[in-house]
């Protein structure tokens, strides 16, 4: 067990395993897994573990890996710091009353904690799956502990919207949705073939059932929408794979049958909870009708209506300062300083309920470009590392499906600006990026380009 968690990091160029770096390896790996397991269950401990983990990783990367040190995430971290600094400077000299006294460089910095996660995972698929499994276990345990030892589950089954005392229902729903997505993508790996298959089915079915119920009782329409679209994509992928892989053996077919059966269970669950689903969906029909007719004055300040009004306000502010934005305080600034927004909305809300609009109004096109570049690099790197046989197929599918899911839900909530969003981003990206770096180290290839260094000897 010790050797598994603290085995040599294949991303490192250190072949001597000096005592100092061995100590850092043990400490950093322990902190990385603590961050994954405890960020929801014990938030303060998990947060501190993540911060120290990231700092230790930067030290190790600086001294031990030229390939990782020169990769896009490290450069984009630098550009993110620069974009925040420029935004703050412009605001400081033009609207000093609207910016903080000092630059708040951690706002985007926390998005890059995945660098630390990826480094300490060391290119290992087993460690990536382990940290994700620990995160799932920690989250589900928190839902029972923080949720009153099951009381919130019972309230949810009775038709109430619950949040298990974790931020709010939207954020809990995003956690459940991500977990459900992962459990579906990795179902064939978890269930497998051979002995004790029904024990593994049970091991998969219990958390899957909990997450499925959690998605429903947290009553978040954006998560329902995102999961519906992603499940269709996964279903199509499995149908295509089952058809073209039909002659590869009954074991492979049984995995596809199990996954298709899981989708059928999801559909059945939707039918069981159809009253809850219908009540949430039908409540906003008048809002959609008003928006489609272009009658903005008639759009009520309901859940969806409030979002639409704040998005309009955000677009007005983005139009005034599109390049570098209004600084780290812009999300609340838009709400507070937009004259036509009602006072009760100003008192209740402090952001735009849209990650990308919040990002654009804060850091403008410059900041958006940094994140867009990161998304493109990860997307292309995932494909190339999978084609090279470094990243497993199920992990590649999960990475892409999570991206689709997260982009959709982020249109309706500013997840990335809260600890919940940055945490889930860093965990998933960490597991994906560690494989991209491993492929780069072993092949000497760049994500964009042919060769970056001499391939690492095997």
Take residue 316 and report the two structure tokens written for it: 């007005």
Distance CA 94, CA 324 (A): 13
> Exposed/middle/buried for 410, CB within 10 Å: 0-12, 13-18, 19+?
buried
pTM, to two decimals: 0.89
Take residue 53 and report the two structure tokens written for it: 């983990």
In a domain, 86, yes or no: yes
In a domain, 51, yes or no: no
C-alpha to C-alpha distances, 365 to 87, 200, 279, 302, 404, nearest whole angstrom: 11, 48, 39, 30, 22
In a domain, 193, yes or no: no
Domain span at 366: 76-112+313-393+408-458
> Exposed/middle/buried for 75, CB within 10 Å: 0-12, 13-18, 19+?
middle
Q: Kindly tell me the sign of the dihedral angle through the C-alpha atoms of 198, 200, 203, 208.
A: negative
Total structural domains in the chain? 1
In a domain, 449, yes or no: yes
Distance CA 22, CA 426 (A): 24
Per-residue pLDDT of the chain (458 residues; tens, 9 = 90+): 556 666 778 888 765 556 777 888 889 999 999 999 999 999 999 999 999 999 999 999 998 889 999 999 999 999 999 999 999 999 888 888 888 888 888 888 899 999 999 999 999 999 999 999 999 999 999 999 876 668 899 999 888 899 999 989 999 999 999 999 999 899 889 987 777 888 888 999 999 999 999 999 998 989 998 998 898 888 777 777 766 654 444 445 555 555 556 666 666 555 555 565 555 555 555 666 555 556 666 677 777 778 888 888 999 999 999 999 998 888 888 998 888 888 888 888 888 889 999 999 999 999 999 999 999 999 999 999 999 999 999 999 999 999 999 999 999 999 999 999 999 999 999 999 999 999 999 999 999 876 655 566 54
In a domain, 297, yes or no: no
In a domain, 357, yes or no: yes
Residue with structure tokens 């209506």?
305
């Amino acid at each position: 067990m010790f050797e598994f968690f603290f085995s040599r990091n294949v991303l490192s160029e250190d072949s001597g395993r000096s005592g100092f770096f061995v100590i850092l390896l043990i400490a950093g790996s322990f902190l990385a897994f603590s961050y994954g397991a405890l960020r929801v269950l014990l938030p303060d401990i998990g947060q501190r573990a993540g911060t120290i983990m990231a700092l230790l990783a930067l030290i190790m990367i600086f001294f031990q890996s030229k390939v990782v040190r020169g990769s896009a995430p490290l450069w984009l971290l630098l550009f993110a710091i620069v974009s925040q600094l420029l935004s703050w400077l412009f605001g400081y000299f033009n609207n000093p009353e609207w910016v903080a006294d000092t630059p708040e460089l951690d706002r985007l910095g926390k998005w890059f904690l995945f660098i630390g996660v990826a480094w300490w995972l060391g290119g290992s698929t087993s460690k990536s799956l382990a940290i994700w499994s620990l995160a799932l276990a920690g989250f589900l345990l928190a839902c029972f502990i923080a949720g009153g030892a099951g009381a919130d589950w019972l309230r949810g089954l009775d038709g109430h919207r619950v949040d298990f005392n974790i931020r709010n229902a939207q954020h809990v729903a995003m956690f459940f949705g991500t977990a459900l997505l992962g459990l579906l993508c990795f179902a064939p790996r978890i269930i497998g073939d051979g002995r004790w298959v029904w024990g593994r089915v049970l091991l998969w079915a219990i958390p899957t059932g909990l997450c499925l119920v959690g998605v429903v009782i947290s009553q978040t329409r954006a998560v329902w929408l995102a999961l519906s679209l992603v499940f269709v994509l996964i279903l199509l992928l499995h149908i295509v794979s089952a058809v073209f892989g039909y002659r590869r053996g009954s074991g492979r077919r049984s995995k596809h049958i199990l996954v298709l059966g899981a989708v059928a269970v999801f559909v059945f669950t939707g039918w069981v909870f159809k009253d809850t689903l219908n009540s949430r969906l039908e409540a906003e029909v008048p809002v959609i009708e008003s928006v489609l007719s272009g009658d903005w004055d008639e759009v009520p300040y309901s859940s969806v209506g409030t979002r639409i009004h704040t998005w309009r306000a955000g677009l007005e502010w983005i139009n005034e300062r599109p390049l570098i934005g209004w600084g780290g305080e812009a999300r609340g600034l838009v709400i507070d300083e937009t004259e036509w927004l009602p006072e009760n909305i100003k008192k209740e809300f402090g952001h735009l309920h849209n990650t990308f609009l919040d990002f654009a109004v804060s850091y403008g096109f410059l900041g958006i470009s940094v994140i867009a570049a990161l998304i493109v690099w990860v997307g292309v790197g995932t494909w190339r590392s999978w084609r090279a046989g470094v990243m497993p197929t199920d992990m590649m599918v999960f990475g892409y499906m999570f991206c689709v899911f997260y982009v959709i839900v982020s249109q309706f909530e500013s997840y990335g600006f809260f600890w919940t969003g940055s945490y889930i981003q860093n965990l998933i990206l960490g597991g994906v990026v560690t494989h991209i770096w491993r492929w780069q180290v072993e092949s000497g290839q760049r994500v964009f380009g042919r060769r970056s260094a001499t391939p690492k000897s095997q």
